[in-house]
Amino acid sequence: MTSFARRVSVEQVEEGTELAPKFDADGLIACVTTDAGTGDVLMVGYMNAEALARTIETGEAHYWSRSRRALWRKGATSGLVQRVVEMRIDDDQDAVWLKVEVAGSGASCHVGYRSCFYRSVPLGGPPDATPSLRFEEHEKRFDPKAVYGDAPNPTQL
């Protein structure tokens, strides 16, 4: 499996060329995934060391599913595979950015929308109010029931 460097100094981590990711207490690193064409953020996911290594080796996005507690090859059920065009790592190497092309309907959200970020939050309202969300996508790209059937919904309260 792809191996990662040991983190030995701030200079190595920030200014060096060794991939030395920082996994959190749960063994995970945050991953932002954007559409390589539009630049829109599609989702925020998490990777463990295996998911990160598989993504690097295969060029297809793999995550760690926190709800299912399992390695998750994105698109394994839905067919909506994410082909990685470019991978970036941030300054302290505790976050990854994937630019991807999505297969099929182009959706990345289990609710059926293209992006998981299909609602906006209004800014500058009265400070004691509860903001009311606005839908920025109006049509689902697929029917989640048809694609996922009776699989448990990953959203947790």
User: Per CB under 8 A, which of residues 27..56 are in contact with a copy of itself?
Assistant: 30, 32, 34, 38-41, 43-44, 53, 55-56
Angle at alpha carbon of residue 6, lines to 20 and 52, rounded to 5°: 40
The candidate with the shortest Cα–Cα distance to 49, out of 12, 14, 23, 70, is: 23
Near a copy of itself in 54-73, by CB under 8 A: 55-59
CA-based Rg of the chain, rounded to a whole angstrom?
Answer: 17
User: Which single residue is written with the structure tokens 């595979």?
Assistant: 81
77, 86, 104, 151: residue in contact with a copy of itself (rule CB under 8 A): 86
Return the number of the residue (44 or 76) whose C-beta is nearest a copy of itself.
44
* Binder of a copy of itself out of 27, 79, 104, 154 (CB under 8 A): 154
84 binds a copy of itself (CB under 8 A): yes
Q: Rule CB under 8 A: say whether 10 interacts with a copy of itself.
A: yes
Q: How far apart are the first and last CA of the chain?
A: 35
Q: How many residues bind a copy of itself (CB under 8 A)?
A: 72
Q: Is 101 in the site for a copy of itself (CB under 8 A)?
A: no
Dist. CA 36–CA 71, nearest whole Å: 24
